[in-house]
Amino acid sequence: MLFYEYSFLFVFLPIVLFGYYAIPGRLRNAWLLVSSCAFYSASSFPFLPILLLSSMLDYGLGAGLCSAKTQRARRGYVSASVVLNLCVLGFFKYAGFLTSSLQSIPGLEATPILSIVLPVGISFYTFQSMSYTIDLYRGKATRARSAIDFACYVTLFPQLIAGPIVRFEEVQAQLRVRTHSARRFAEGLEFFVRGLAKKILLADTAALLCDPLFELDAPGFAAGWVSVLLYSTQIYFDFSGYSDMAVGLGKLFGFEFPQNFNSPYKASSFSDFWRRWHMTLSRWLRDNLYFPLGGNRRSSARTYVNLGATMLLGGLWHGAAWNYVVWGAYHGALLALERAVGRARDSSESSSISRRGFVFVAVSVGWVFFRCDDIAHSSRWLRSMFLMDGIGRVDVLPSVGLAALLFIVFRCKNTWEDRGNFGAWRTALLVVIFVASIVAAYGSESSPFLYFRF
């Protein structure tokens, strides 16, 4: 079930909202748990037991950690949580990739390939679930009030499938007591409608323009760059739209989720980009991988290794394919190079614009590995982009569409910067945008959110 489907908008969500506000406050977490299980089951019922078992595993290990008397025992509980969660994630997400990679090694050609269906959202909910025991171990959170509260936290449908990755410490108080108000509800609707428009009107439009270009065998320089830049806008609005919709849905039920997207293409450095793109994942990797490896507290060489390892694993988190490994290594190299040469000190406006343009172009080049099917496809696309297959040509419509989308990316404020002003004209505009999105979604073949595949 997708947030923009009519079954969600006009059946599931109204029923859940009505039930939530009709029942006593002490039962609301249980209602959200049941509703979230129904939401997940609509598309992934066979994998619901994995989601619930993962939740109960970490809840039990968290209880053991809280009652442990020695530091060694506490460390054992948190280690068990991390290892077991990563084993579950590794089996479902990487077993097929590992066995297919082994087949390419001489002497191992007979290795059977494991074809395992990836449970929807497993990359997100495993990270979120084990953050509970990690936060308990570090003293940043207290034990969940009940198994229902904890299962509600892990399965909460607004952010279950594609984030944001909400740490337990960020919502533990809200699981006990939440503030509901007309203003928060209205702000939630605003976030949701703007996210819906980003997905249906902008991201899907970019997809319609760039998908035919990616079917070309040798696009040439012009079509190569236009297609990649269009995909850059597609993934931007697609993920930004989902993040806004998740935050908006949370507000409807009294939750305040952390910001997950902050105009990343306006970043003036690669480190700034990763502070703005998928912010909750970046913080998770920083706090639970980069810092434990030593961060930048040791030698320069060790810092570069830590950056590379963190981004390499970040790439693998996104997908079990060599394309994602290369993408992670590429961003690790960009971060290491930036740190090695230092940032430009010129603070003039022209310098800022040029730095942002350079970061945007470099990040867009990296998206080639996201959009293309494999390394061979990516290599062919990069050849065209860097004038190895001629200039080529591109139609007017994709070029005009790209210009319009880039204008919105760079000249418009994001939802977090431009929210909360509920004047009559703004409310009317939101209604118009909602209706336009609903009409556009009717009968269209909108693709699932891009981050659903992770």
Query: What is the reported pLDDT for 200?
Result: 94
Q: What is the mean pLDDT of residues 159-175?
A: 92
Of 285, 206, 278, which Cα lies nearest the Cα of 242?
278
Query: What is the reported pLDDT for 194?
Result: 95
Q: What is the mean pLDDT of residues 283-303?
A: 89
Provide the mean pLDDT of the chain. 91
Query: What is the reported pLDDT for 98?
Result: 85
* Residue that wins the pLDDT comparison between 207 and 298: 207
pLDDT of 450 higher than 90: no
Residues 90-104 pLDDT 10s: 999 888 888 888 777
Residues 246-269 pLDDT 10s: 999 999 999 999 999 999 999 999
Q: Model confidence at 36, in pLDDT bands (50, 70, 90)?
A: very high
Catalytic residues: 318
Q: Model confidence at 299, in pLDDT bands (50, 70, 90)?
A: confident
pTM above 0.85? yes
Q: What is the mean pLDDT of residues 66-76?
A: 94
Query: What is the reported pLDDT for 174?
Result: 95
Lowest pLDDT segment from 124-133, 159-168, 199-208, 421-430:
421-430
Q: Model confidence at 114, in pLDDT bands (50, 70, 90)?
A: confident
pLDDT of 123 higher than 80: yes
- Percent of the chain having pLDDT more than 70? 96
Whether 199 and 4 have beta carbons less than 8 Å apart is answered as: yes
Query: What is the reported pLDDT for 426?
Result: 85
Query: What is the reported pLDDT for 366?
Result: 96
CA distance 323 to 316: 9
Of 253, 278, 236, 258, which Cα lies nearest the Cα of 189?
253
Q: What is the mean pLDDT of residues 303-331?
A: 92
